Structure 1
Amino acid sequence: MIMTTRPATPYALIVGWDGVRHDLLPELELPTLSAVAEQGFLIGTTMPEESEAKTSTAPGWSTNLTGVWPAKHGITDNEPMPNHFDRYPHLLQRLLTDQPDRQTLACVCAAMLGSTKGPGPILAGGVSTLIFHDVRTHPLGPIGRDPLVAEDARHQLRHRDYALSFVYFASTDKTAHLEGVGPRYRDAIRQEDSWTGALIDAVRRRPTFSDEDWLVVITTDHGHRDEGGHGGNSWQERQSFLAMARLDADLGFTPPAAVSNVDLAPTVLRHLGVTVEADWDLDGVALQQPSTTVDAGFAEPRLRPGC
């Protein structure tokens, strides 16, 4: 009798570290990010120029989650404005449209992600379970809310079945606004790395983990000036990065020498078995295609056309 092995079910976890500068990461001891980079890759990326969009939360996460630049999704600032999410929905919604029998999770604290503040909610629709710890209801803002996000997300990943999860931490951004990118900011990055490690550990403890194929992504929406603050056109503010790996497995592809934030959505969707259609008009591409090689680690970012 011929025995066949059932392919592992694909899952994906995206972890957002708000306002984290890529150029500072090599200076820090970040065991979780380093493990992801070693298993897969960590590559610096560049956000659009200020003439296209502010280097701010709403434009950055709209770009990361939709796979298109601000000229298409329409979010260029944190202020109220119309969007084009009906034409360019975020990847959680794309997944549920394609695979309505699966579930998605978003565990966040930023008001623009989970409420109508500014141009939000950016995560409108397509989220089976939205856990929203509103930063506006805690005196410490995201610094007080992030531990709750971490604990809730850890529990959900361990005990529930979500094909695609997005977990967002904001205390790095808040710390930089208060104190610049000095010691406390670096400690905040280390803390978010630790929380991310706990999320990955929760995934590995799932009773069905041996039958699952998990892609993990860590990214950010913008950087910060040395003194703190963002929204402008400096290279410190326009920094971002993509880190990506499959848990306990080879990544299965070698990323090109140049990647962009808009590549995140199509790459995750392809891992989850979603066919990225040409008429979606995405600016990004799935990275699981033949490409030139790049050493994993702290590579040079790709500049967008015109940058």
Structure 2
Amino acid sequence: MRFLLTVVTLLSLCATSTLSAAEKSKHVLLLGIDGCRFDALTKANTPNLDKLISRGIYSPTALIQGDRYRKSDTVSGPGWSSINTGVWADKHGVIDNGFGKPNFEKYPHFFHYVKLALPEAKTVSIVDWTPIKKYIVSSADVSIDTTEYKKSVVDQYDIADEKGVNDAIRLLDDVHPTALMLYQGIVDESGHTFGFHPTVPEYISAIEKVDQRVGKVLEAIEKRTDEEWLIVVTSDHGGAGKGHGGGHTNPDIMHSFLIVSGAGAEQGKFDQQVYIVDAVPTLLSYLGIDIDNQWELDGHVVGLK
């Protein structure tokens, strides 16, 4: 009898545990690290990004452009537009950093689709590259640009990145976002100032600063034990020398990276080519949102169990 009671108790505990995991609410974080080369990331001391990689699936060679259209420049405007909308530049209309003829009404920021499917969901965007907030972001309950202009642009992004992380941690408690987009800009600006290469100490240092800040956000998320998060990390481009424009034939510029991490992610390394536009459909699918063909997304769901 005692044995039977023990078995029943254990089965009950297992059932309770399974039910508890199933009842966790799903949330997503899109973490953007501007101008970050993956070979530099692997050389830097990045325990927090390494943890995300170990808890998910990654590609060191995610492409920043597709096969269909390559007339857009290899710069931040098209890059962040593609990352946040899930479509290439011939659709969203951003071919450079001028944002001359954007088509975000037809191909909106992914928050639009979150709100469409989950009207009660809260969405938060925190950036310090102003055009993202000015042009790309829509359907955000909270949209913040932490830019503070300083004499040194590297210092400007250093301060703004830190503020963005602090805002993200605060808003996790205040808003309880279903979808959070957090951008960090110091790596790109360090590349422009000192050089985009794993041998450049200042570039490596900037990546390590971002990793430390990412650790603070991960710590805050891990405390939210009633939530299950999928975290997607990517960049808008790489870099060579002190730039990245016109880099269509340079893999150091054309290659970004993609990390899909969390309990809902596969493990290991992608064995197929992935693209920065894959971030949006992956995030949406994880939230249980069906991808409508009428949205004309160019990206595909990747890395989910």
User: Which consecutive aligned stretches of 4+ in structure 1 deviate over 4 angstroms post-superposition?
Assistant: 1-4, 252-256
Q: Which has the higher helix share?
A: 2
Assess if the C-alpha contact under 8 Å between 1:52 and 1:76 holds in 2: yes
Q: Which residue of 2 aligns with 1:139?
A: 151
The correspondence for 1:62, drawn from 63, 77, 81, is 81
The residue matched to 2:136 in structure 1 has which SS?
coil
Assess if the C-alpha contact under 8 Å between 2:56 and 2:265 holds in 1: yes
The correspondence for 2:95, drawn from 76, 87, 91, is 76
Matched to 1:88, the amino acid is Y
Matched to 2:24, the amino acid is A
Matches within 5 A, 1:163-174: 163-174=178-189
| Count, aligned residues | 277
The Cα shift of 1:156 comes to 1.4
Q: Which moves more between the two structures, 184-193 or 138-147?
A: 138-147
User: Partners in 2 of 1:230 and 1:288 — Cα distance?
Assistant: 28
The Cα shift of 1:253 comes to 7.4
The Cα shift of 1:162 comes to 0.2
The Cα shift of 1:75 comes to 0.6
The Cα shift of 1:7 comes to 2.7
Assess if the C-alpha contact under 8 Å between 2:63 and 2:274 holds in 1: no
TM-score scaled to structure 1, two decimals? Answer: 0.84
Q: Which residue of 1 aligns with 2:105?
A: 86
User: Partners in 2 of 1:289 and 1:156 — Cα distance?
Assistant: 26
Bigger CA radius of gyration: 2
Q: Which residue of 1 aligns with 2:166?
A: 151
The Cα shift of 1:256 comes to 4.8
In the superposition, relative to structure 1, how do residues 270 and 232 fare at CA in structure 2: closer, same or farther (>3 Å)? Answer: same
In the superposition, relative to structure 1, how do residues 253 and 68 fare at CA in structure 2: closer, same or farther (>3 Å)? Answer: farther
Q: Which residue of 2 aligns with 1:230?
A: 244
User: Partners in 2 of 1:268 and 1:278 — Cα distance?
Assistant: 16
Q: Does 1:267 align with 2:282?
A: yes
Q: Does 1:114 align with 2:133?
A: yes
Q: Which residue of 2 aligns with 1:185?
A: 203
The residue matched to 1:244 in structure 2 has which SS?
strand
The residue matched to 2:237 in structure 1 has which SS?
coil
Q: 5+ residue gaps in structure 1?
A: 116-120, 291-307
Q: Could you list the per-position Cα deviations for residues 164-203 of structure 1 after superposition, in whole angstroms to 9, with x for gaps in the alignment?
A: 0000010111111111131011000011111111101111
The Cα shift of 1:138 comes to 3.3
The residue matched to 1:83 in structure 2 has which SS?
coil
Assess if the C-alpha contact under 8 Å between 2:30 and 2:180 holds in 1: yes
User: Partners in 1 of 2:115 and 2:151 — Cα distance?
Assistant: 36
Matches within 5 A, 1:2-81: 5=19, 7-43=23-59, 44-48=61-65, 51-81=70-100
User: Partners in 2 of 1:105 and 1:15 — Cα distance?
Assistant: 12
The correspondence for 2:140, drawn from 127, 143, 151, is 127
Q: Does 1:198 align with 2:212?
A: no
The Cα shift of 1:228 comes to 1.2
Assess if the C-alpha contact under 8 Å between 1:158 and 1:205 holds in 2: no
User: Partners in 2 of 1:288 and 1:25 — Cα distance?
Assistant: 21
Matched to 2:56, the amino acid is G
Q: Could you list the per-position Cα deviations for residues 60-98 of structure 1 after superposition, in whole angstroms to 9, with x for gaps in the alignment?
A: 011111111111111110013111111111111210122
Matched to 1:218, the amino acid is V
Assess if the C-alpha contact under 8 Å between 2:30 and 2:233 holds in 1: yes
Matches within 5 A, 1:290-301: none
Assess if the C-alpha contact under 8 Å between 1:157 and 1:199 holds in 2: no
Q: Which residue of 2 aligns with 1:300?
A: none
User: Partners in 2 of 1:158 and 1:196 — Cα distance?
Assistant: 17
The Cα shift of 1:102 comes to 0.8
Q: Which moves more between the two structures, 177-186 or 142-151?
A: 142-151
User: Partners in 2 of 1:158 and 1:73 — Cα distance?
Assistant: 33
Assess if the C-alpha contact under 8 Å between 2:114 and 2:289 holds in 1: yes
The Cα shift of 1:139 comes to 3.2
User: Partners in 2 of 1:21 and 1:108 — Cα distance?
Assistant: 20
Matched to 1:138, the amino acid is K
Q: Could you list the per-position Cα deviations for residues 220-273 of structure 1 after superposition, in whole angstroms to 9, with x for gaps in the alignment?
A: 001111x21111222222120101111xx3525775522111111000000011
The Cα shift of 1:53 comes to 1.2
Assess if the C-alpha contact under 8 Å between 1:95 and 1:274 holds in 2: yes
Overall identity of the aligned pairs, in % = 29
The Cα shift of 1:51 comes to 4.4
User: Partners in 1 of 2:227 and 2:99 — Cα distance?
Assistant: 40
User: Partners in 1 of 2:47 and 2:126 — Cα distance?
Assistant: 23
The Cα shift of 1:58 comes to 1.1
